[in-house]
Amino acid sequence: MEKKTHWKKEFNYDYMGSYSLPDGGDITLTIKSTTKQQVTGMNGKKEDCFVCYFKEADKPMILNRMNCKTISKLSGSPFIENWPGVRVVVGIDKVSAFGEMVEALRIRNIKPRSTVDYSKQAASLRACTTIEQLQGEYLSLSRDEQAGTVSIKDEMKSKLTLTQQQQ
């Protein structure tokens, strides 16, 4: 099947949208952090929104109340400080907005299918002694393995950078 590009990907949007999901299918992501921040809408209006950053995604997602309630259920906690590390499934639903049906991102009320053990990959990253070695090891991992070990890679990069600076 030919890979196609959604027209919205050709614009520099700061936040995830339905066009962000590969082939419009559900994806599993890990919450990195959440924060309240000022967002400028397409009409130039600024408003405070609740935003979620994911370890595996380049862009954050603006969360509405429904998505927050779902994360609360999936995490077992209403406290946003407990949400980092929670794996969620993000998908697209058709919703009525502004008098028409539009696509909206939704956190699915389902647990991701399986938890994969990346302890071997993590150990290989932790064994690296130089930035170059870490980069080579990380790039040799599959995309899923990279997504599952990105926090370890970042931790090691910080440690190795500090070690290099002290030498």
| Each residue's pLDDT tens digit, 96-129 | 887 899 888 999 998 876 567 788 999 999 999 9
pLDDT in tens, 38-90: 988 777 889 999 999 999 888 999 999 999 999 999 999 999 999 999 999 99
Residue 112 lies in a domain: no
How many domains are contained in the chain?
A: 2
- Quick check: is 152 in a domain? yes
**What is the spatial distance between Cα 73 and Cα 140, in angstroms, rounded to a whole number?**
36
Give me the half-sphere count of Cα atoms (radius 13 Å) on the Cβ side of residue 44: 0
Q: What is the DSSP letter of 137?
A: H
Residues contacting 138, CB < 8 A, separation 6+: 125, 146, 149, 153
| 76 and 141 together in one domain | no
Reported confidence tier of residue 3, pLDDT bands at 50, 70, 90: low
Domain of residue 52, residue span: 14-107
> What pTM was estimated for this model as a whole?
0.61
Do 20 and 102 fall within a single domain? yes
Is residue 21 located within the same domain as residue 53? yes
Is position 3 within any domain? Answer: no
Contacts of 51 (CB under 8 A, 6+ apart): 15, 34, 35, 36, 37, 39, 60, 61, 62, 63
Whether 19 and 96 map to the same domain: the answer is yes
Does residue 157 lie within any of the structural domains?
A: yes
> Structure tokens of 110?
């389902």
Residue type for position 1: M
